[in-house]
Structure 1
Amino acid sequence: MPIIKPISDLRNKTNQISDLVHKSHEPVFITKNGEGDMVLMSLAKYGEMERTLDLYEKLAVAESQATAGNRGRPLDRVMADLRKRIRAFK
């Protein structure tokens, strides 16, 4: 169930709204004059959403390339590159 609060709560109960956003791990929808106006979310949740969107964009590009006939790189080459990167971090 979405969490919906009037903009007056944002103005008058900022700390409670902040606590609600962080404790619920869900966005809080703010209304103005009974209409949706904005969405508040924690910085952590926003970062998670950005990473998810980035992954979806990369998957869409990969799917498009595969559909166009791009076969990509052989698995053994990918694995060798990954092993090199892992060794570099040790």
Structure 2
Amino acid sequence: MPEIIPIRDLKNTSKISQKCHESKEPIFVTKNGYGDMVIMSMEMYKEKMFMFDVYDKLIAAEEQLKEGKVLDGEASLKSIREKYNV
């Protein structure tokens, strides 16, 4: 379950940093009772960005399939082998 903290709690930076590294979820920060920011550790940020990249590539691949932009696997491998003398 995501953690939600008020913005005034950001004064204790060491505690917030520790929470970010211990949590596997982003920490949501509220201001005047409304969502304002999201904070997370660098490791989690890198993981999220990696997954966004994977999802983008999957979406692109699905679009290529729908458009019929596919190559025959055998023919592609043969072409690569001939090109690189493998």
The answer to whether the superposition gives a TM-score over 0.5 is yes
1:77–1:18 distance in 2 versus 1, CA, 3 Å: same
Give a deviation string over 1:24-66, Cα, whole Å, max 9, x none.
2221110111111000000010110001010110011111011
Find the counterpart in structure 2 of residue 21 from structure 1: 20
Tell me which stretches of 4 or more aligned residues in structure 1 moved more than 3 Å: none
**TM-score normalised to the size of structure 1?**
0.78
**TM-score normalised to the size of structure 2?**
0.82
Q: Output the amino acid matched with 2:77.
A: R
Find the counterpart in structure 1 of residue 31 from structure 2: 32
Find the counterpart in structure 2 of residue 4 from structure 1: 4
Please state if 1:52 is matched with 2:55: no
Q: What CA RMSD, in Å, does the superposition of the two structures yield over aligned residues?
A: 2.1
Please state if 1:77 is matched with 2:60: no
Shift of 1:73: 5.2
Q: Output the amino acid matched with 2:21.
A: H
Percent identity, aligned pairs only, is 44
Question: Which has the larger Rg?
Answer: 2
Unaligned runs of 5+ in 1: 85-90
